[in-house]
Structure 1
Amino acid sequence: MTDASAEPIHGDDPHDPRVHEKLNWLRAGVLGANDGIISVAALVVGVAAATTDTAAILIAGVASVVAGAISMGLGEYVSVSTQRDTEHALIRKETRELAEMPDQELAELAAIYRAKGLSEATAERVAEELTAHDALAAHLEAELHISADDVVNPWHAAGASALSFLVGSVLPMLAILLPPPEWRIATTFIAVIVSLAITGWLSAWIGGAPRGRAIARVVVGGALALAVTWAIGAALGGVV
């Protein structure tokens, strides 16, 4: 029996290359928001456990937000740029091989389809027809499982990651600054747990994964991070 909650409910055809691009930046966005919530909340809870000075908490929180957003955006840009450069290099290599040794490439394509279970005659016919239609696209899909029209965009991923980190960090900042000092930590804990449950649900929805498991992972991890930083802040605050 399958878990009904694991079924993706995206309205687009999942085989459409545009869906892959949308899911890529949605994934980066959800991860960025999740990181913004946890990292900023953990830092401000640790500081709030050590001191009730609002200015100190604000300075630490703002520094964490700015540094985290830059780090998330830059990290995503570097990672996706590396993937893009690799894909471009593979496309250039395949283009050169098709120009220099078309017969060998045709035989290689037919061999791929024979390995998938087609008869020799059918595999050769499929390879010939696909090559006549678009040789490069046929080889990229069969050999490398990529498309020249679907190369990842590092700017999209970096922008989504940095922006979502900023959006995610707003909640713990408000939760720690708005309530009176005696309610700051408790309010932040509650707000973070609820928001992490939402981002866990979203990440599962995007990937079509079981939602209960995804929510539990992110909530338990976030709660643990808050508890550890609170304990460190309380211990250091008592010493200082």
Structure 2
Amino acid sequence: MKEKNNLIQRNNIVRASIMGANDGIISIAGIVIGVSGATSHIGTILLAGFAGTLAGTVSMAMGEYVSVSSQRDAQEKIVQEQKIALANDYQKEFDFVYEKYSSVGISKELAHTATDEMMKKDALATTVRERHGFTIGQELSAKGAAIASMISFPTGALLPMLAISLIPKSWSAMATFFAVLIALGFTGYAAAYLNGADKNMQLLEIS
């Protein structure tokens, strides 16, 4: 259980990190390329990029915190409602789990035995899992997701700002565009590697 919970938390951090990095790369690239079209003054371009990075970092971190917190609050509410449902009509909840197991091709005898054992062991956890699809005690960390976004967004934003400032003006916009594509491919590959998914498919999806 502890290992599974750690895996869920890690995937939550990876998701927030990849989203933050991708948003930082794309949004700040758009800002610096747009501003570079109006002025060639590198200080002005970088100032706009820095302002966008600051705003984006705060927005992503707060957005992740609120999103994950809301999901956790909703799950806690479901757990409380399920406690009431079990207290009011235990047999109805038992029958729901039994019917669900029976519907996937398990024999009625085996489905009844499995339901009986699981409900006796932990009726609340069983009904929450089967009715609502999550496991009690495996709530995601809102702080972890917020911190991951707070770090990854400016990290991603750094690439387009470096590209636009270090490459000659005549090539800067095009070079920044290709740098963004390469960076997005890298984040897609990193996400696939960390989650054990198909790396080639992730590269195609990100691109």
Amino acid at match of 2:5: P
Contact 2:8 2:140 in 1 (8 A): no
Tell me what 2:13 maps to. 25
Q: Does the Cα contact within 8 Å between 2:72 and 2:140 map onto a contact in 1? A: yes
Q: Give unpaired runs (5+ residues) of structure 1.
A: 1-12, 220-240
Distance 1:166 1:54 in 2: 19
Match of 1:143 in 2: 131
Partner of 2:151: 163
Return the offset for 1:67: 0.9
Query: What is the rounded CA distance, in whole Å, between the counterparts of 2:170 and 2:88 in structure 1?
Result: 74
Distance in 1 between residues matched to 2:84 and 2:165, nearest whole Å: 60
Unmatched segments (≥5 aa) in structure 2? none
Contact 1:27 1:206 in 2 (8 A): no
Alpha-carbon distance in structure 2 between the residues aligned to 1:138 and 1:172? 49
CA contact (8 A) 2:188 2:206 kept: yes
Counterpart residue type for residue 116 of structure 2: E
Superposed displacement of residue 186, structure 1: 4.3
Q: Spell out the pairing of 1:209-228 with structure 2 (5 A cutoff).
A: 209-219=197-207
Question: 1:67 corresponds to which residue?
Answer: 55
How far residue 63 of structure 1 moved from its aligned partner, in angstroms, is 0.7
Aligned length: 206
Question: Aligned partners of 1:118, 1:192: CA distance in 2, in Å?
Answer: 50
Q: After the TM superposition, which segments of 4 or more aligned residues of structure 1 sit over 6 Å from their partners?
A: none
Could you say if the C-alpha distance between residues 45 and 87 of structure 1 is closer, same or farther in structure 2, counting changes exceeding 3 Å?
same
CA shift digits 1:133-160 (9 cap, x unpaired) = 1111111222221111112222222221
Pairing 1:36–2:16 present: no
Residue deviations 1:194-225, cap 9 Å, x none? 21220122234455554334324534xxxxxx
Q: Percent identity?
A: 36
Q: Distance in 2 between matches of 1:83 and 1:212?
A: 31
TM-score (norm 1): 0.76
Q: Which amino acid aligns with 1:58?
A: L
| Bigger shift: residues 178-187 or 38-47 | 178-187
What is the one-letter code of the residue matched to 1:161? S
CA distance in 1, matches of 2:142, 2:91: 36
RMSD between aligned alpha carbons?
Answer: 2.3
Secondary structure of 1:152's partner? coil
2:78 aligned with 1:90: yes
